[in-house]
Amino acid sequence: MKKTELNRLFLTEEACHFAAIESCHKEASLYNVTDGKAVGTYLEHKFQKFLEQKYNYQKGSSAEGLDFPQLLVDMKVTSIRQPQSSCPFSSARQKIYGLGYSLLLFVYQKLDDLTSKTSTLDIQHIVFIEENRTADFQMTSGLCQIIDNQGNKEDLIAFMMDRNLPIDEIQADQLAEEILQKKPTIGYLTISNALQWRLQYRRALDNAGQIDGILKVR
């Protein structure tokens, strides 16, 4: 059977179908597993196998960093208890202008069954966050407010430094010039500084389906 070329529309549709099936599946290998990374790896691999049956697409690798590099989409899996994950740090610009790719976010509640010694991943939410909404909310909203209030380059630099954006003075000056020329779009992630970005998704979940660029898939 000839396979279809995967696109973003098919990806979100199939994510919804997959979630409905997976939310009823009892998995023995996940019983008593508390490592969120292990759960995420399980779900990512299973979703890839689900897609491979029907679609042609370029599969990502750990080296490439994206699960769907051809579509510029990364899949993130997180628990409803604390919806967050890590993300490779590329540059401080990501906090202002976004990660450079979109996110397909699966949010689950893990339910262990003592009788059957199995675990079920109840996938409660799937959200597709467009690339232009993957910046930090507080950073982008603050910078936009400064611009709207006729702020200048020094105001922008002071704000970024106060927010501990990981940049030096030269980079701050260059970024401020860029921001004056190209006003950022408000992002809906909370991005914490670390060797890897720490992405928190609560705001994106709360605004899914209400903000352009944040699609509520499930």
CB 67 within 8 A of CB 75: yes
- Average pLDDT, whole number, for the chain? 94
CA atoms of 35 and 200, how far apart (whole Å): 18
List pLDDT tens digits, range 167-201: 999 999 999 999 999 999 999 999 998 768 899 99
Domains of the chain: 4-83+101-134+194-216 (3.40.210), 137-181 (no CATH)
Q: Which two tokens stand for residue 159?
A: 């704000």
* Confidence (pLDDT) at 59: 86
* Confidence (pLDDT) at 149: 96
Match 């603050």 to its residue by tokens: 142
* Confidence (pLDDT) at 62: 56
pLDDT value at 63 more than 60 = no
CB 176 within 8 A of CB 153: yes
* Confidence (pLDDT) at 157: 97
The model's pTM is 0.93
Q: 73-79 and 102-113 as β-strands: parallel, antiparallel, unpaired?
A: parallel
